[in-house]
Structure 1
Amino acid sequence: MYINCKGRLIDFTTPKVMGILNLTPDSFFDGGSRKSKEEHLFHAEEMLQEGADFIDVGAYSSRPGAVDISEAEELKRLLPVVESLVKEFPEVLLSVDTFRSEVAKRAVEAGAAMINDISAGNLDEKMLQTVANLQVPYIMMHMRGTPQTMKGLNEYEDLVQDILFYFSQKIREARAAGINDLIIDPGFGFSKNIRHNFELLSKSDLFKNLELPVLAGLSRKSLIYKTFDSTPDEALNGTTVLNTIALMKGANILRVHDVKEAVECVKLVEQLKN
């Protein structure tokens, strides 16, 4: 499987690693730990040196119950960092984590290579057509409601079957709009409780039937640290274990806070497969 990123063909024969760059003050793990543009640039450089294939930049916190911010505030946080990253690291492949079409448009114009939408177009009716016009890869995640309401929207007839049906619909919509390069994200932690998340991981190989690259976003999430009655700060080892399982189940991208450990995961699993 391949996607076209700024004219470069990205081959998913070997899984890729996407490093998380949070520009928000309230993300569940490292929100607010870096405040200046220089600190964000240093962190991005560190992740690239550790082997990140993509950097995912987000300026709107999507943790459960996160504070809603305006589009203007999201752009104010996001654009200076995107512009600086592209200037400092011309070859970087930036993904922008947003559900707003205007933010997506402005970010790609500033040099971003991909859009990562937690709502798969459900929170902005213009998103699919905007991405199609931009001709960039599009990550579609499964979520119900909004970050403010999703926690209570976790009743399913059949979890994996429901999510597969959701994606089959969203893929049709995206293709009809003219989007060529699609990636799916089952949405660990979004509109799902801990039991759901483990069931989703255990059956995540079924998403290969969609014949699209699959992104796994398990990094330091509550299904790990609540299992141990600990905190996100103590969830690196658990993240590595679940990332390894995700790779064995066919994940093509690991979206992570800790790039070095994820790159090592990929190398070890590839050695095992070969």
Structure 2
Amino acid sequence: MKFFRASLFVVAGLLLLGYVFTTRMPGSAAPGLSAPQPSAPPAEPAFGVQSPAASPVAPSPPHVPYSGPQRFEYVRTDSAPVGAGRIWRYRIAVEETSGVAPEEFAQAVERILAERRSWIAKGNVGFRRVAADPSDLTIHLATPATTDKLCSGVGVQTKGEVSCRGGRTIVINLARWQLAVPWYADARDEYRAMVVNHEVGHFLGNGHVRCPRPGGLAPVMQTQTYGLEGCVRNPWPYPDGKTLVTGPVGSD
């Protein structure tokens, strides 16, 4: 009997010892399993780098063909006359395959010439788009290669880069119309107004002038496509609607 009770005590002790060794401590792994690891915090983005979803998408610059078929589509609508005094009649022609709708170009030119800060502020000049001849002037929008060809015919070398006027012909370079120049990169419509006013200014008999003083407004007859010479960009001959901004005579 004593031996039996002693055996029970031994068995009970062994069971208790086994329980102690097989019971997990808080946070320890169960037999056969790895202990769960705490979740790593989300990785911080690299300094100065935004996630793709947050990155602003810059608009792609329009595609500008370098050359075209040298065939033009003429706008067959009239506009109301603007200004006073001598009303110059002009036609609009856009080179085929330029990617610009003729009516779109015509409306842009019409808005520019009708602005109170354009040449009509002089008080004795005006403009009207006409659907057919007789006309006084044709304003073309042409690819760079076609611009070179047309401008060389009136004695101006444009080198694929700039626009020109010769006689009754104005040619606006498609590349400049669509892409402007770096100092007008954030103001393409202003550049368009400047180049139209500049070339129409030549048609009206105005020559090139230079920046009058650093920090002043650039005259519209300054060659702003090539640079500002320290002046502030300006697309209008009469920026306040009253006073012509001009400067010292420049070279052509």
TM-score, with structure 2 as normaliser: 0.26
Q: Which has the higher relative contact order, 1 or 2, with Cα contacts under 8 A spaced 6 or more apart? A: 1
More helix per residue: 1
The structure whose Rg is larger is 2
TM-score, with structure 1 as normaliser: 0.25
